[in-house]
Amino acid sequence: MKALLRTCQTGLLMIGLGLIGAMTASGETLSLSGSYSPSEVVGGRLSYRPDPLPVVFPAWLGTPTLFLEFSLNTWVEYRRDDEAITSLALSPVMQWPLFGDHDSLFLEAGIGLALIDFIQIAGHDLSSHFQFEDRIGLSWAYRRNQKASLSLNIFHYSNAGLKQPNQGLNLLVLGWSYRL
């Protein structure tokens, strides 16, 4: 019951952060996502992307756009309400158009840093509060004005072997984003 209450509190915090971001944003993106893991873990994610960073990449890398993404995540083991994790993460995310510069389908990839409050969930021992957040996925801007998009990503959290055991956690994340 404590984990369920904490998850509700985290959800309210996520909504509050989203509203604050919406009031101060001009071209930034807010995203709400749900996550699922076959390890009996489900969760929620609120993320915020400021405007793209003004970085020019070498030609061999293509024409990616680079974003910094800040996120608040919460995961709970759905068979036991006493196991939950809250995470704060910062990830650089690269986004490539798949079929031309102004396409609506994008490949996204990134590796960032995350801090988690608890290190065990659903039989996974993550060993440390410091984690790496790896991701790869697709996003689709389904509206003509390109403001709203859907994304499907695979996330992996682990400490990269800095402390053992390093079981990690894999999540399938479905999200909806809106550019303000």
CATH number, domain of 84, equals 2.40.160.20
Coil vs helix vs strand at 166: coil
* pLDDT > 80? residue 10: no
CA distance 2 to 84: 9
pTM for this predicted structure: 0.83
In contact, 14 and 22? CB cutoff 8 Å: no
In contact, 164 and 16? CB cutoff 8 Å: no
Query: Span 123-146, mean pLDDT?
Result: 89
pLDDT per residue as tens digits for the range 31-82: 999 999 998 999 999 999 999 999 989 989 888 999 999 999 999 998 876 7
Q: Cα separations (Å) of 105 from 9, 17, 18, 47, 134?
A: 35, 28, 25, 20, 20
Q: Give the pLDDT score at 83.
A: 78
pLDDT per residue as tens digits for the range 92-127: 999 999 887 667 899 999 999 999 999 999 888 999
pLDDT per residue as tens digits for the range 11-38: 555 555 555 555 455 568 999 999 999 9
- Quote the domain boundaries for residue 83: 2-179
Domain count, the chain: 1
